[in-house]
Structure 1
Amino acid sequence: MDATDTKNLSLRDQGHLWHTLTQHQTAAPALGIVKAKGALLWDEDGKEYIDGIASWYTCMYGHGNEHLVQAISEQMKTLDFVLFSGFTHAPAVNLAERLVGLLPQNQEKLFFNDNGSTAVEAAIKMALQYHHNNGEKRDTLIAFENGFHGDTFGAMSASGLSSYNGPFEDFLLKVIRIPTPTEENMEEVSAQLRSVIAHNACAAFVYEPLVQGAAGMKFHSAPGLNALLGLCKEADILCIADEIMTGFGKTGKHFASENMAHLPDIICLSKALTAGMFPLSITSCTQAVYNRFLSTEVAKGFFHAHTYSAHPMGCAAALAGLDLLESAPILERRAYLEKAHRAFVAKVQGHPKVTNARSMGVIMALDLNMSMARYGSLRDRLYRFFMERGIVLRPLGNTVYVLPPYVITNAQLEKIYDAIWELLHTL
């Protein structure tokens, strides 16, 4: 068979490929996708799908965005790749200067990685070594219950979802988990954090600001989180904001951390950083964190590296993405999506099949009034329900969420809402 033939991709796939988050004994064959543009995907049979989650919240400016394509193409002609140890290049320098101007104001230094997990991994290592370089052994991380930060060991340690961590629990770093703060439990959670700090050598607090994505788009209190950050800062516990999902406009502001007075010491970025065009991530930090690694002792440097760090094409994609993030058309679409989500939440909030509907920025989620496994058969039925209607949504257990590309059309968004409404009346 001609290897360039796009027909029978699903069948050919089964010969050698091992997919993410898949139990291949029971899973349906992977769907072959041959084309993408804007908010749409097409399979090998020509069927069209609306990408209602921007392919895991990455392609926020739409698939095949011409501005991004041109930026990467032009960069390839000038400098394809050079190692980032002992060398630098214009795309990295330009991105650093521009991104620092957009990030929360205390961020000064950028460290490049490959993906979200490695951004968190680097952040955790920075925090542990930050204290080590000061002659302290701090061996404990603080994290929220049900958080998710990635699949490498440090990031996985900070995560609290057993469906991902189960086989590895005995091999993880020491982590103490606390509940997310709400208006009702703020005092209780603050007291719990004080106790954790008093009885443990805590190095860092790793958290998803305001929205826990993989947990089911669960929201928590900005004032409550701000109070927790304040307690950590009093104890010189580094605050690591995992903005991999929330960053670049998804919660309304450019970064969710802007909703708190206490700013993080370290921020992790990926996904929409390059708009899905290139695997790249960043771990940013304050000048104070960076300074702790400056020494005449070579071993006090941060000896952590990724071969493709600061890849010029990834940096070019990120720079082009920032052009779009701050452009008038994207700002208008973000405002429209926020308003549309609020209206749909108001419509479904009282439905007997809905226990909690909510929205923040371009994120909309609702919890169905039924119990189901995260990757069980009932959840799979929901997934197929939407796919049969030409819509890509990936329910998280009983949570159905929508996080579309900013460029999704009004008609495409309405089609998603209509499908969810139909689902509620067929359950």
Structure 2
Amino acid sequence: MNIAAKSWITAYFVCFFFIWGIFLPFWSVWLASKGVSPEQIGTLFSLGLVLRFVSNIGLLPRLKTAKGPLKMVCYLTFSVLMCLLLLIYFQGWYALAAATLLLNFLLAPMVPLGDIIGTRLVKQIQINYGKVRLWGSVSFIVGSTFVGWTIGEFGHESILWLIIVAVFFNYCLSLIKLNPQLQEQAKPKQHHNSNLMSLIKQPKVIYFILVMGLIQGSHAAYYSFSALYWTSMGISEFNIALLWGLSVFAEVLLMRFNDKLFGSWSVKQMCLLALIAGLIRWGVLSQTTDMALLILVQTFHAFTFALAHLAAMRFIAIQEEHLMVGYQTLYSSVGLGLVMAVLTFISGWIYAPQESTIFIWMACIMLPVFFLLKKWKCD
């Protein structure tokens, strides 16, 4: 069975980000419903982020052929499905801990794998990658909003079952061949690992990782504990899902109109706006749980996450072509993985129900970025 390549990559982003829209905001809620403490959740999430780093930097360099990303998607999705099915029968502490860590390891490469496949299709059949990727963000909104409704109707166990169903569809999709199939592309004969080692020693790369790591890492506590905090403050799961969905909707709009709004901006200017927006966002969240204000500052996700991510992609795009994979690997594994892991671990010990200290912490870790931006020679 074949499917048009553009339809396949669109469906892949829809399926995966539906899963991600459930897992990212609500897996901690599901763990808490099983009796896992906030400190344990923080530890699991931080270790899970370390495993995301290990997974990205360990698996992605193994892609040697054009069809390699598709095969890896198939293997990873099948493994995720088996892991989730086992959780139906085994829900003790050790099973929950092992499954959470394994899921982080298996799911981590699936976003860059989609990016790799999409990038190849841009060159082969000239798809509009931005418009295709938007459907993934829309699916994230649908997933996070829908699970908020199912929790109210069917309880917390619906979180697990929804992810199982979505992963099953993603696995079925991975068995379908693309038309046209991915074609081999000539690459310079260089060793990937040596590229990484040489890149990580360059000052501009170190500043790149630190700037992006701290801006994106400031979301660590938000990703792991915002749902728990808002629940402890009496906000319903449905409203929490709406808040998450709204943030991603703002992200979608920014990505859609990015060229018109920020086409002439430099990488540093984009990062500075993301930094200022982050300080405002976390500052407001630390002071109120008023839904009107929460709705307003959740739209700042368009700047704190999406704009910073686009700045990173723009910086990577201006590098030499044979180094782009190295930059992408370091950004995904270190900037978004290792740094996020450390900050999530610390957040787990800071977080306490009904206390907004966690958001003040998120704002404080962004302050060094002002200094780093002055030193970073990126444009």
Report the structure, 1 or 2, having the larger helix content. Answer: 2
Question: Which structure has the higher relative contact order (CA within 8 Å, separation 6+)?
Answer: 2
TM-score by length of 2: 0.27
Q: TM-score, normalised by structure 1?
A: 0.25
1 or 2, which has the higher strand percentage?
1
